Structure 1
Amino acid sequence: MTVVNLADFRRHSGRNTSQALGPDLADIMDALHLGGGALHRSVVVRQVAAWRGARTREEIAALDIELNLAFEEYIRFARRRRKLVLLQKPLGADSYRWAITDVGRQLLEDQASRRVQRVGR
């Protein structure tokens, strides 16, 4: 699981982002990053369900709603910000395809390289 360094993101964005960034969004970002950058929403939900151990239809349906709400909340937040946007809907507002932006990908890669540096010490 990726841990987005909220302090770094706040410092770069200049705004309190604690409500826009949470564990659901981190899981979405991880799934997109592992999936090559862009995936259909249902693929993201299945991946996160596997990570969280959700197996029943009810659990997966609830997770689908939870992740979609988190993604939509972030998109609304990002629309107001227009700076350092991490996620997007590359095919338009009505699309079910989600994507990580170059800024989001760089944030995840920076976090990964910092972890490697810490482990290598």
Structure 2
Amino acid sequence: MLSRTQVMVLSFLAAAWVAVVAILAVAPDVYDQALGLPIADRRPFEVAFLAALSIFLVIVATGVLRRWRWMFWLILVAFLAGVIRLPASALELAGAIPRQGPAWYVVLQGVIGAVQFVIGIAMLMGYRRSGLWGNF
């Protein structure tokens, strides 16, 4: 049986994958610019990027499903660090630092950071209440 923490992390991973696929389908230039892809035939690079990301997310999801201890701590640290995206996005939108994409993408990065941080806090609450991968 999956805990709420596991369901929340798996849902986030699935939503992140769907978002990447949607961005690659609708606005591939966002990732082309970020990855520094050549102007010519970019499709193979995009497919390779999506395949590599998919493999990575499957490994992380496997760790979540199997309740790997090290994966819990890795995800917890990464998600708590997501709070850094909020001021970074605000600074990008204010023009204080160079933008890493269009405004909508910068806002999306900020929202993702906020969601990651909330999940990280929930993971901490679950850990304090029930141990690793425990319900929050």
Question: What range describes the TM-score normalised by the shorter chain of this pair?
Answer: 0.3 to 0.5
Q: Considering only CA atoms, is the larger Rg found in Structure 1 or Structure 2?
A: 2
In proportion to residue count, which structure has more helix?
A: 2
In proportion to residue count, which structure has more strand?
A: 1
Please give the TM-score of this superposition, normalised by the length of structure 1.
0.35
